[in-house]
């Protein structure tokens, strides 16, 4: 069964249509985050190392361009319907918290949050919609988003490639390693966010205690 699945995936990865698939998923993932674009990019990177198909540089380029296009669609949606979407979200829900975080982060760090949000679950959609809803200048958005899209394409492609290179004759093990690395990086980002949030919340309490 495993061999059959691997043969099927290998056939898909060897097809020139894989680049269109990567582009489409990377674009749609910007405003419909249930689409597994990162999974496909990592998988393509694994097979690029183990079978030389698809081409790694093309995978990275197509993923980055797709992400860039999709982010601009999400930005436009936020600009046109952002307020309505936000009003429909109940306070305290996971999605509303993501948008509240994006709003505060953009106010503090500006466009750089587009790069950081790329590696936070749900952060990409929240950041792009929020920048659109907040009328963030399009030129500045495009500049920061280009950096974010390229970094994400390189990240996904190279993680997969490293996994595939480590297990050149065992693509399944390479996939597991690639996904493990991606999960580990995401976990580290979340831990850092949690620690910083706790520290920021503790600062007012320390100041109040010193006054007393």
Q: What is the mean pLDDT of residues 180-208?
A: 58
Distances (CA, A) of 210 to 84, 198, 202, 207: 43, 19, 12, 5
- Can you give the pLDDT at residue 75? 93
Express each pLDDT in 61-117 by its tens digit.
999 999 999 999 999 998 888 677 776 766 666 667 777 777 777 777 777 888 888
pTM: 0.78
Number of domains in the chain: 1
DSSP string, 122-173: THHHHHHHHHHHTT--HHHHHHHHHHHHHHHHHHHHHHHHHHHHHTTT-HHH
Per the structure, the complete domain to which residue 24 belongs is given by 2-211
Considering 19-23, 48-52, 180-184, the range whose residues carry the highest mean pLDDT is 19-23
């Amino acid at each position: 069964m495993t061999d059959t699945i691997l043969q099927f995936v290998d056939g898909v990865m060897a097809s020139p249509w894989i680049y269109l698939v990567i582009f489409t998923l990377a674009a749609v993932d910007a405003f419909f985050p249930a689409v597994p674009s990162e999974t496909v990019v990592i998988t393509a990177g694994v097979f690029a190392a183990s079978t030389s198909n698809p081409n790694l540089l093309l995978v990275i380029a197509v993923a980055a361009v797709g992400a860039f296009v999709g982010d601009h669609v999400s930005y436009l949606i936020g600009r046109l319907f952002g307020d309505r979407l936000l009003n429909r979200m109940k306070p305290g829900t996971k999605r509303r918290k993501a948008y509240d975080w994006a709003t505060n982060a953009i106010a503090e760090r500006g466009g750089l949050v587009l790069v950081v949000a790329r590696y936070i679950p749900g952060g990409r959609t929240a950041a792009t919609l929020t920048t659109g809803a907040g009328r963030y200048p399009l030129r500045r958005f495009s500049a920061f988003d280009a950096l974010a899209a390229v970094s994400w394409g390189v990240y996904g492609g190279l993680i997969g490639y490293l996994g595939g290179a480590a297990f050149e004759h065992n693509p399944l093990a390479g996939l597991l390693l690639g996904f493990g690395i991606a999960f580990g990086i995401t976990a580290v980002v979340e831990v850092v966010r949690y620690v910083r949030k706790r520290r920021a919340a503790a600062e007012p309490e320390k100041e109040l205690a010193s006054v007393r």
